[in-house]
Each structure stands twice: as C-alpha cells, then as structure tokens.
Amino acid sequence: MNNSPSGVPIANMTLPLPLNTNNTTVTLTEPALTTPANAKSRTTPAPRMRKPKPTQSKKKRRIESDTDNKYHIDQDSEGRDDNEVFCLCRKPDDGTVMIGCDHCDEWFHAACINFSNQMSRLVVSFSCPSCTAAGRGETKWKRHCRLPGCKELVTKPAKFCSREHGIKFYKDIFSGSNRRLAVTQGEIKALVNAVKSAEEFKSLGNARPEDTDHPEEDKKLISEYKLQADQARAAMESWKRREAYIVLTKEQTKRLGELAAQDSGVKKKDICGYDYRLSQTSTEWSEWENSDQGKAILSGQTPLLSTVEEFSNITGVCLMEKRKCLRHTAWQMLTVDECLLEQHSHQAEIDEANRKIDDIKRLHQLDRYLISRQADQVQFL
C-alpha cells in the first residue's frame, strides 16, 4: 500500500471538498449509502417511507416524499449494514416506496403487498400479513366512498363522496352490474357468528326474510314530516281563502263608490275601500275566518251593501277618496301578490316534507332489497 509523505496510508486519508466552505469531509474508505434502518434524510427517485428512530412516534411513520430534497452525502454512514433485507421478498432497500408494520416494526415494499399510493391516503394503521394472521391486529382504514373503485374520503354519516356516486351505486344494484355469485368472506363470517348450529347455517336462504316495518326512529321522522306537511297545507288553504276575500273586497269597493256618489250627490266617486282585515296576522285571520261572520262572508251568504244607510254604518273599511289615500296605494295588487307568495312558500314546505318522507321509504325499500338479495346469494355457497 502506498503511503503519503506523512506516513498515513492514502486510502485512509480525508480530503477537503473544494466547493464546500464548511470544511465538510468525505471518507473515501466508506461508501455514503443510506438504508431504511438508519437513514436520517436522503432522496430517492421515488417517494418512500423512511424508518424512524426508536423515539419517533408512530404518527410520523407514514409514506414520505423526498422529491423536494437535494442529493447530499450522509456523513454518519459508518457502521451501517448495506445488505440488510426487508419485506416478504427478503431483499434490501431498493429505493421504492416502503411501509412499516405498526405491530412488528418490519418494513415492506409497497409493490410486494399490493399497496398503492392511493391506498396510503386511506390507511390509519398498517398490519402486515404475518401480524394479521397471528391476530395482533388488522389494517385500519379511513372511511371512504361506498361506490366500488372510488377511494375518496367521506365523513360520517355520509356513505358516498358525492350525490352522483350515491345514485350510481344504487342504479348499479338495480341494474345488476354489481351482482356477484357468492357472498364475501366477511359476510360468511357474519353468517357463521349469527347461527348456533351447522343445521341452522345450512337452512340459511331457504326462505326470504320477512318484511319488517320501518324502525321506530324512521316512524317518528315520518310522523314529524307529515305533521309539517299538514300544517303547511292548512296555512296555504287559509291564504287561498284570504285571496278569495280580496276578490270580494274589490267588488265591495266598486259598490261603495256607487253608494258614496249617491250619498254625496255626485255622479261618480272612487274610494280607497281597503279592508283592515287584510292586515291581520295569520292567527287573527284564522280566528275571524272560523267565526260565524267570517264563514258567512267567505261562503257568499252575506250580500254586498245595497243601501246608503248600510254604507253610512260600515266599519273596518277605508272610505277616503282613492286619489287622496296615500297610505293604501295599490293595495289590491300588493295584497294579491302577498297571498300568492305565501301560497308558493307553503307549497315548497309541503314538497320538502314529502320528499323527505319518500327518501326514508326509498332507503327502507333498498335495505329490504339488499337483505333479500343477500339471502338469495347464500344459496350459492
């Protein structure tokens, strides 16, 4: 081996990096390599999970991306085992994505366990095949869309990431596109746990499940929505009667003008004719329309005013000349518009309540259909 003038072997010398102003040195006898077992920071062609130190929390043991880091030389690489193997394939770190088991702390290549990058967004805790088989735990996932093939996250109580996926899911069920010839392993396990004997298990699927009524919670909701619809319908009918009363007041206003002209000795006289009942609240109006007087007027049993004496004794009606009464300007048009607007609002309430009732019934029918379909599938076991 050749020696330097100072007597130190050249192979063991450390040389300063010419472009580094911090006097960083590189040991020529040790390759600057990193592994998942002891790497502090590094970069690879693809994102990967790095193995944490013993004090690192499990929360940080997720797939991390080093694509934003720059290539650098790790100066703490002495004493590392570059041939350390991982995973089911028992091969070393090859720079691809790896994930660590939360139970045994073993590391696995994502490709070896069919763990995609999309799945990394959904995993809460990972359990390797060995730990799962040994009963140490299972991989836990975040709640995601129920539509097959969609991995978008959802939050309770939603089952789908969007309304479109919910509609497509149930359309696929009814069209048979999601139909399968056997139940899943999880469904078989649930069926086994639900029976007490082998004979009872064999009898599954011999008969369809009996139709059950709506659950108590659904019954309560349906009753509430029906009550809301009935109340809105009653209010809408009341506003229709008020609209009919406006028509009567228009006719009465015309007759009042004729009587006012006779009383004043003029040829023609236009009066305001606003009826103060039209400004009543819903409660006050309801009380009046259910009274004997209100029923008689609204049913047409009470005739219009016909004499000047009746005109002189009338109350609750504005008898000012129409052109002079600024307070009730355009009252006929405004009161009709108010009635139509209130009717439209109450009709929307009725439609909304009925829609909610239909949704509950439709979901109940779908549940019954799915239960019946699962019972049919048991026969394929």
Q: Give, in order, the Cα–Cα distances in Å from 172 to each of 49, 90, 338, 380.
A: 38, 43, 46, 21
Q: What was the pLDDT predicted at 74?
A: 34
Amino acid at 378: V
- φ/ψ of 130, rounded to 5, equals -65, -45
* Mean pLDDT within 190-216: 68
Q: By CB neighbour count within 10 A (0-12 exposed, 13-18 middle, 19+ buried), where does 47 fall?
A: middle
CATH of 1-141, one of 3.40.50.620, 3.40.50.300, 3.40.50.720, 3.30.40.10: 3.30.40.10
Query: What string of DSSP letters covers 290-307?
Result: TSHHHHHHHTT-SPPP-S
* Mean pLDDT within 149-164: 81
* Mean pLDDT within 272-300: 86
Convert the pLDDT of each residue in 218-275 to its tens digit.
888 889 999 999 999 999 999 999 998 888 888 888 887 887 777 777 777 788 888 8
Convert the pLDDT of each residue in 302-347 to its tens digit.
765 655 556 556 677 888 888 888 888 888 899 999 999 999 999 9
SS3 173: helix
Lowest average pLDDT, out of 9-13, 123-127, 338-342, goes to 9-13
List of long-range contacts for 288-292, beta carbons under 8 Å, 24+ apart? 289/238, 289/241, 289/242
CA angle (249 as vertex; 244, 253 as ends), nearest 5 = 155
Q: Is-contact 304 252, C-beta < 8 A?
A: yes
Helices and strands, counts by H and E, the chain: 10, 8
- Helix pair 282-289, 216-264: axis angle to 10 deg: 70
Give the domain ranges of the chain: 1-141, 216-366
Q: Give, in order, the Cα–Cα distances in Å from 83 to each of 113, 304, 325.
A: 21, 108, 101
Q: What was the pLDDT predicted at 349?
A: 94
Mean model confidence pLDDT for the chain: 71
Please give the model's pTM, rounded to 2 decimal places. 0.41
Cis before 157 (ω within 30): yes
